[in-house]
Amino acid sequence: MKQPTIRDVAVFAGVSPASVSRFLNNKTVLPPDMAATIDRAVKTLGYRPNVLARRLSLGTTETIGFVTADIAAPFFAEVASAAEQEAERHGFSLMICNTRNEVARELEYLRRQREGHFDGVIFMTNHRDDGRLREAVRATPNVVLLDEDVPGTDGPKFFIDNVDAGYIATRHLIEAGHRIIGHVTGMHGMISVDERLIGYRKALEEAGIPYRDDLVMAGSYDAAFGSEAFDALWDGPMRPTAICSSSDILALSIYAAAKRRNLKIPQDFSIVGVDDLPYLDFLNPPLTSVRQPAKELGRRGVLALLGKYDGPMERLPVELVKRQSVAPPARP
């Protein structure tokens, strides 16, 4: 069956095709009776607009690209879900662009943005930049950075208060009586890693606890590294009574490593994570974590592309969610 056209709607409503087109594209305000007649014609005929033609005429794709390191990761998925919801509120679709944290794929999606595949891009990387991303982001219009920075670039950026995240996690452990506190984190050179380490050191300094390099394990934000880091700390020269983990994913792998050694949390050591992923209450014991405002990051990324935020950078506050993974250190 032939799909009805704008001309068919115009004939049915007794108006010109131009009037129908301008009305459906919100480019004109018609008298109420004429508008009602066109609406009735559209409904009766089952007319569906040609989306491609409409986009070509308006010069817009009505699509936002969401470039993420790993859509399967709970934190990235939560940010993406909030961004999709906000985009839909403003008449945009959100296309997930999963890079698997590979530079080549990140550069490809930025190229597509320059070629007009999207109206804008929300960009979330999860590795240190070697300069290629910096040059690509500089050359690409309408890019908003979330969570991790690409140093040397301008434009809207939304991060959490990483220094405070590291600080309040470590201070909570100190307040519980711990003085030998390990820190497990990602790769140096990433804003989340370097700033959370600053917060960790700040809390130690305020408490008069000497900083030790051998209590800091920096590598990557993945489960394999968390387990390796825990083994290195536990078998190291100064076994920690507590661990500040820069992400919940790392913390989860530390849980698994502890179970492998028949260690109990928090009886043998305490731990605090960062992210506050949705399922932490189901762990044994439930993990204390610093909550990142993932949904707000996604929402603001979309609004920034739509021109709703001014200024180059904004940091969102974090909060400590206390559960049962922290206790005073066991007596020797």
Kind of pairing between the strands at 181-185 and 143-146? unpaired
What is the model's pLDDT at position 30?
A: 83
CATH architecture of 162-292: 3-Layer(aba) Sandwich (3.40)
How far apart, in Å, do the first and last CA atoms of the chain sit? Answer: 82
Q: How far apart are CA 36 and CA 40, in angstroms?
A: 6
Please give the average per-residue pLDDT across 172-182, as a whole number: 98
Percent of the chain clearing pLDDT 70 (strictly above) = 94
What is the model's pLDDT at position 50?
A: 57
**Topology match between the domains 63-160+295-316 and 162-292:** yes
Instruction: Give the model confidence (pLDDT) of 16-72 as tens digits.
Output: 888 887 887 766 778 888 889 998 998 898 887 654 445 445 556 789 999 999 999
What is the model's pLDDT at position 59?
A: 53
pLDDT at residue 193 is higher than 80: yes
**Domains of the chain, residue spans:** 6-58, 63-160+295-316, 162-292
CATH 1.10.10.10 matches 63-160+295-316? no
Q: In CATH, what number does 6-58 get? A: 1.10.260.40
Q: How far apart are CA 158 and CA 41, in angstroms?
A: 46
314 — pLDDT class (breaks 50, 70, 90):
very high
What is the model's pLDDT at position 225?
A: 96
Residue 112 in contact with residue 329, Cβ under 8 Å? no
**25-29, 140-144, 228-232, 290-294: least confidently modelled range:** 25-29
What is the model's pLDDT at position 332?
A: 60
Q: At 146, list the tokens.
A: 């979330």
What is the model's pLDDT at position 1?
A: 52
Q: How far apart are CA 216 and CA 183, in angstroms?
A: 5
What is the model's pLDDT at position 2?
A: 65
Q: What is the pTM of this model?
A: 0.82
Instruction: Give the model confidence (pLDDT) of 266-305 as tens digits.
Output: 999 999 999 999 899 999 999 999 999 999 999 999 999 9
What is the model's pLDDT at position 49?
A: 65
Selected residue with higher pLDDT from 216 and 29: 216
What is the model's pLDDT at position 62?
A: 85
Instruction: Give the model confidence (pLDDT) of 68-107 as tens digits.
Output: 999 999 999 999 999 999 999 988 899 999 999 999 999 9
Instruction: Give the model confidence (pLDDT) of 258-268 as tens digits.
Output: 999 999 999 99
Dihedral pair phi/psi, residue 12, rounded to 5°: -65, -40
Q: How far apart are CA 10 and CA 91, in angstroms?
A: 25
Please give the average per-residue pLDDT across 306-327, as a whole number: 90
